[in-house]
Amino acid sequence: MASAHTLKGVKRELGSKGYLNQLRRTQMIPGVVYGKGEPALTIAVEGKTVNRIFSHSGYGGLFNLEIEGEPQPVMTLVREVQRHPVNKDVIHVDFLAVSMTEEITSLVPILIVGEEEVVKRGGILQLGAKEVEVSCLAADLPESIRCDVSHLRVGDKITIADLEVPPTVQKLSDPEAVVALVLGSHRASADETAEVSEESQGEAETGAKDAE
C-alpha cells in the first residue's frame, strides 16, 4: 500500500479574486474537497509542501488532508490541478475524498532500477511512460511499480504489459506503451555507419572495375 502524503490546510470562504491572490501571497493554495456524499469543502493548503510533493512524486497516490477545525483527517486523491498559464505555479487543486475500502483509479509512478547495468554494456536507456493508471481498493494502492531494466540489451524494451503488479491491482494504461527501450551508443552507431559506407565504397569500386 502507498503511504499517504500529509497536507495541512485550513477552511476558506468563497471570495473574490483579490482574496485568492491574498491566499497565494501567504503561500497557501486554494482547493476543494468533494465526494463520499458530503458537501464540497473549500480549503487552502500549504503551497510549499504541495509543490515539493508534486515535483518529487507527481499527483498520484493518496493525500491525507489535516484541515484545521475538522475532527479527523480526510483521505483523498488529487483529481485536478490548475496551473498558472505563464509561470506554471499550482494555483488550485481538486481533491476527491475516498474510503480505504472502496475501489479507486489512480496514477502510480514507475520506479526504474538497474540502469547502471545497461550503461556498463554500452547501451543508452530511453525512458517512456513514467506512470501507470491502475484500479484497486484505496488500501491496496501501491506506492510505485518497479521496473527492472538490468537484463535489457540493445534493441530490448519493456512495455506497460510487462510490468508486474500485485494481484489486487489492475493496470488500465495502454499495455503497448513503452516504458524503457535500450538503444546502441552513439559511438557504436557511428562505427556502424562508417562500416556501411566502406562496404558501399568497396562495392562501387568493384562495380567500376567490372565495367572496365
User: What percent of the chain is predicted at pLDDT more than 90?
Assistant: 59
Whole-number Å distance between alpha carbons of 195 and 186: 14
The residue extents of the domains of the chain are 5-98, 105-189
Does residue 181 carry a pLDDT above 60? yes
| pLDDT higher than threshold 60 for residue 206 | no
pLDDT of residue 163: 98
Average pLDDT, the chain: 85
Q: Which of 20, 3, 87 is nearest to 51 (CA)?
A: 87
Backbone phi, psi, residue 152, to 5°:
-75, 145
So what's the pLDDT on residue 117? 96
User: Across 51-190, where does the E strand assignment appear?
Assistant: 62-67, 74-83, 90-97, 103-113, 123-127, 131-137, 145-148, 157-159, 170-171, 178-184
Confidence band for 12, pLDDT divided at 50, 70 and 90: confident
Model confidence at 190: pLDDT above 90: no
- At residue 210, the 3 state secondary structure works out as helix
Q: Do domains 5-98 and 105-189 have the same CATH topology?
A: no
CA distance 131 to 14: 34
Phi/psi for 78 (5° steps) reads -80, 125
Question: What pLDDT sits at residue 199?
Answer: 44
Over range 108-125, report the average pLDDT: 94
CATH of range 5-98; options 3.30.70.1350, 1.20.120.160, 2.40.240.10, 3.40.50.1100: 2.40.240.10
Domain 105-189: CATH class, spelled out: mainly beta
For residue 93, what is its C-alpha cell?
487543486
**Buried-state track 109-125, b at ≥16 Cβ within 10 A, e below 16:** bbebebbeebeeeebeb
Overall average pLDDT of the 46-67 stretch: 89
